[in-house]
A and B are shown apart, each in its own frame.
Chain A
Amino acid sequence: MNRGLLIRGGVILVLLVLVLVAVPELFGSDWIFTFTSVAIYAVAAAGFGILYGRVGMISLGQVALLSIGCWIGARLAYATSIPFPFLLIFTGAITMVIGVLVGLPALRLSGLYLALITLMFAGATTVVLSQIDFPNGGPGFTGRSATGALTTETPPVRRPDWGTADSAYYRYVVIVAAILFLLALVHVAAKPGRAWASIRESEPAALAAGVNITLYKLWAFALASFMTGVAGCLLAAEIGVPRAITFQTQDSLTLAATALIGGIFSLWGALVAGIFNQLLPFLFQAQWGVNPNFLLVIFGAGLVQVLLTAPGGLIDQFPKDMANLGRLIARKVPVTRQAALGIGSILALILGIVFLITVSPLVGVIVVLLSPILAAYAVN
Chain B
Amino acid sequence: MVEIENLTVRFGGVTPIDGISVVFDSGTCGLIGPNGAGKTTFFNVMSGFVKPAGGTITAFGENLLKMADFRRARWGLRRTFQTEMAIEQLSVFDNVAMIHEHSGAKRATRRPDVLSAIEFVGLKASPKAKVGGLGARERRLVEIARAVVGKPRLVLLDEPAAGLPDEETGHLGEVIQRIPDQFGALVILVDHDMSLVSACCQTTAVIDFGRLIASGLTADVLRDEHVMRAYLGTEAEVVPEEEAER
Q: Interface on A for B, CB 8 Å cutoff?
A: 191, 194-195, 197-198, 200-202, 204-205, 207-213
Contact B102 A197 (CB under 8 A): no
B151 interface residue per 8 A CB criterion: no
Does B162 make an interface contact (CB < 8 A)? no
Q: Does B88 contact A (CB under 8 A)?
A: yes
Tell me whether A194 and B98 are in contact in the complex, defined as CB-CB below 8 angstroms, given that A209-B146, A213-B70 are known contacts: yes
- A194 engages B97 (CB within 8 Å): yes
Interface residues of B (CB under 8 A from A): 47-49, 69-74, 77-79, 81, 85-90, 94, 97-99, 101-103, 146
**CB atoms of B89 and A195 under 8 A apart:** no
Which one of B90, B97, B103 contacts A210 once the chains associate, using CB atoms below 8 Å? B103
17 extra A-B contacts, CB within 8 A, seeds A194-B97, A207-B70, A208-B81:
A191-B98, A191-B101, A194-B98, A197-B87, A197-B89, A197-B94, A200-B87, A201-B87, A204-B49, A204-B85, A207-B47, A207-B49, A207-B69, A208-B47, A210-B70, A210-B74, A211-B102
Q: Closest chain A residue to B77 by CB distance?
A: A208
Q: Which residues of B contact A213 (CB under 8 A)?
A: 70
On whether A208 and B79 interact (CB within 8 A), knowing A194-B97, A195-B98, A213-B70, the answer reads: yes
B102 in contact with A210 (CB, 8 Å): yes
- Give chain A residues whose Cβ lies under 8 Å from the Cβ of B74: 210
CB pair B98–A209 under 8 Å, yes or no, is: yes
- Closest chain-A Cβ to B76's Cβ sits at a distance in Å of 10
CB of B103 within 8 A of CB of A194, answer no
Chain A residues whose C-beta falls within 8 Å of the C-beta of B49 in the assembled complex = 204, 207
28 CB-based A-B contacts, threshold 8 Å: A191-B101, A194-B90, A194-B94, A194-B97, A195-B102, A197-B87, A197-B94, A198-B87, A201-B86, A201-B88, A202-B81, A202-B85, A204-B49, A204-B81, A204-B85, A205-B85, A207-B47, A207-B69, A208-B47, A208-B72, A208-B73, A208-B78, A209-B102, A209-B146, A210-B71, A210-B72, A211-B98, A211-B102
Please give me the residue from chain B that is nearest to A202 by CB atom.
B85
Residues of A within 8 A of B94 (CB): 194, 197
Indicate whether A205 sits within 8 Å of B81 (C-beta atoms), given known contacts A210-B74, A211-B70.
yes
Closest partner residue, chain B, to A205 (CB atom) = B85
Shortest distance in angstroms between B117's beta carbon and chain A's nearest beta carbon? Answer: 14
A198–B49 Cα gap in the complex (Å)?
A: 17
- CA A235 – CA B78 in complex, angstroms? 47
Query: Taking the nearest CB of chain A, how far is it from the CB of B87, in angstroms?
Result: 5
Instruction: Give the shortest distance, in Å, between B195 (CB) and chain A (any CB).
Output: 27
Q: Which of B49, B86, B87 has the most CB of A within 10 A?
A: B87
Q: Which residue of A lies closest to B146 (CB)?
A: A209
Q: Which residue of A lies closest to B97 (CB)?
A: A194
- A200–B47 Cα distance when bound, in Å, is 19
Q: How far is the CB of B100 from chain A (nearest CB, A)?
A: 10
Q: Bound complex: CA of A94 vs CA of B243, how far in Å?
A: 83
CA distance A214 to B70 in the complex (A): 10
Residue of A nearest to B69 (CB): A207
> What distance in Å separates the Cβ of B75 from its nearest Cβ neighbour in chain A?
9
- CB of B101 within 8 A of CB of A194, answer yes
Residues of B within 8 A of A205 (CB): 81, 85
Cα of A330 to Cα of B81 in the assembled complex, Å:
47
Q: Which residues of B contact A204 (CB under 8 A)?
A: 47, 49, 81, 85
Residues of chain A contacted by B86 (CB below 8 angstroms): 201
Contacts of B101 in A (CB 8 A): 191, 194
Q: Which 10 A-B pairs have the closest CB atoms?
A: A210-B73, A210-B102, A194-B98, A205-B85, A201-B87, A197-B89, A202-B85, A212-B70, A208-B79, A197-B87
- The CA of A251 and the CA of B73, in the complex, are separated in Å by 42
Distance in Å from the Cβ of A204 to the closest Cβ of chain B? 6
Distance between Cα atoms of A211 and B146 in the complex (Å): 13
CA distance A194 to B97 in the complex (A): 9
**How far is it, in angstroms, between the C-alpha of A66 and the C-alpha of B180 when the chains are bound?**
54
CB nearest to A191 among chain B residues: B101
Chain B residues with Cβ below 8 Å from A210 are 70-74, 99, 102-103
Contact B98–A198 (Cβ < 8 Å): yes
Given the complex, which residues of A lie within 8 Å of B81, measured CB to CB?
Answer: 202, 204-205, 208
CA distance A204 to B79 in the complex (A): 10
Find chain A residues with CB under 8 A from B85 CB: 201-202, 204-205
Residues of A within 8 A of B90 (CB): 194, 197
| Bound CA–CA A298/B38 (angstroms) | 52
Taking the closest CB of chain A, its distance from the CB of B89, in whole angstroms, is: 5
- The chain B residue sitting closest to A196, CB to CB, is B89
The answer for the CA separation of A204 and B69 in the assembled complex, in Å, is 10
Q: Is A201 in contact with B99, judged by CB distance below 8 angstroms? A: no
- The interface residues of chain B lying within 8 Å CB-to-CB of A200 are 87, 89
CA separation between A213 and B102, bound complex, in Å?
Answer: 12
Residue of chain A at shortest CB distance from B81: A205
Interfacial chain A residues near B70, Cβ < 8 Å: 207, 210-213
